[in-house]
Structure 1
Amino acid sequence: MIKSWMVIGGVALLVAMGGGLISPNGAKWFKRLQRPKWLIFEKLIPLIWTIVFICGAWSAYIVWESAPGTPTTWLRMGLYLLLEIVTIAYTPVMFKLRSLKVGTIIGGTGFVVCVITAIAIFGISTSAVLLLLPYLLWSPIGTYTTWEMSRLNPWDA
């Protein structure tokens, strides 16, 4: 029998693979952009997002197990899915459009969706809400970094 954590992890992995749909030209564009001087942790960003996604999937698992298969739980799973899709869209959409402004908007949208998700699960599990904290803490940093890069690279904003 397939366990719920396997399905949640599988869906998360499938959606995350969509983030790899970036063009080489988009990657070159992004690589040449100026970064803020304080951005000394850029090499850690993939690891940070991996931790954030694992925590999000774990949160979703806890919520699913609290009332598996109910319509309300399915709606909450839809919020988790939307959150991951918006988050994963950041890189390929920003690279395709070559627009840091679009990246900033997507980053801010992810934060708002995460806040909505946290509110939707608040009464279900404190642990599930706490597992969204890495997203709620990191997303504004990433969004601010993108916004700051748009100020440093106005022609690519």
Structure 2
Amino acid sequence: MTPYFVAGGLALLLAAAGGLTTSIGGWYRALRKPPWQPPDWLFGPAWTIILGLAAWSAAIAWKAAPDAIARRDVVILFAVNAVFHFLWSPLFFRWRRPDWALIEVVFLWGSLVALVVGLWPISTNAALLILPYLAWVSFAAFLNLNIVQRNGPFGGNKLGRL
């Protein structure tokens, strides 16, 4: 039962950190967004479900790992993903750099592909639980790209001062 509590606790910490670095204020509201963007309220529940599935995946993979080396690999894969997951929100919201967030989301997406590939031989079920996360990040990356295209350049422009 311990892997489930550890993974769940870490997922809660990651969700809280993401929430604390996400500010929906005047700057964000002033951005031109595509009409197909989901409503703001949907992102919190979506990330909660996705991080819950990732925590479940981590616990399953940990328990299925045949030895200490495989468990180490599971930890590394999830730790790398957590770093890239955390970085996106401050880049986009706190530093108001959707362009930098767009570059970073490529690494987040790559960390998810690495999770699916790396977990597959350990536990197919653990790898499959990552697929909704990969799908959501793929959608979010496309949304991020669309926002950059509609609003750039970023940095010293008027949007950065709102």
| Range of TM-score over shorter length | 0.7 to 0.9
Q: Deviations over 1:17-63 (max 9, x none)?
A: 22234375x74322221111222444312211111111111110100
Aligned residues: 155
The answer on 1:139 being equivalent to 2:134 is no
How big is the shift at 1:82? 1.8
Who is 2:3 aligned against?
A: 4
Who is 1:15 aligned against?
A: 14
1:93 to 91, 94, 103: 91
Q: Deviations over 1:95-116 (max 9, x none)?
A: 2321111111222211110001
2:54 to 53, 56, 59: 56
Who is 1:116 aligned against?
A: 114
Segments of 5+ residues of structure 1 without an aligned counterpart are: none
Who is 1:74 aligned against?
A: 72
| 2: CA distance, partners of 1:20 / 1:131 | 22
| 2: CA distance, partners of 1:127 / 1:153 | 40
Structure 1 vs Structure 2: percent identity of aligned residues?
A: 28
Mark the CA change 1:72 to 1:59 in structure 2 (over 3 Å): closer, same or farther. same
Answer yes or no: is the 8 Å Cα contact 1:27–1:95 preserved in 2: no
| 2: CA distance, partners of 1:56 / 1:29 | 31
The TM-score with structure 1 as length reference comes to 0.87
| 1: CA distance, partners of 2:81 / 2:19 | 17
How big is the shift at 1:140? 0.9
| 2: CA distance, partners of 1:97 / 1:17 | 18
The answer on 1:83 being equivalent to 2:59 is no
Mark the CA change 1:54 to 1:68 in structure 2 (over 3 Å): closer, same or farther. farther
Deviates most, 105-114 or 61-70: 61-70
Deviates most, 138-147 or 41-50: 41-50
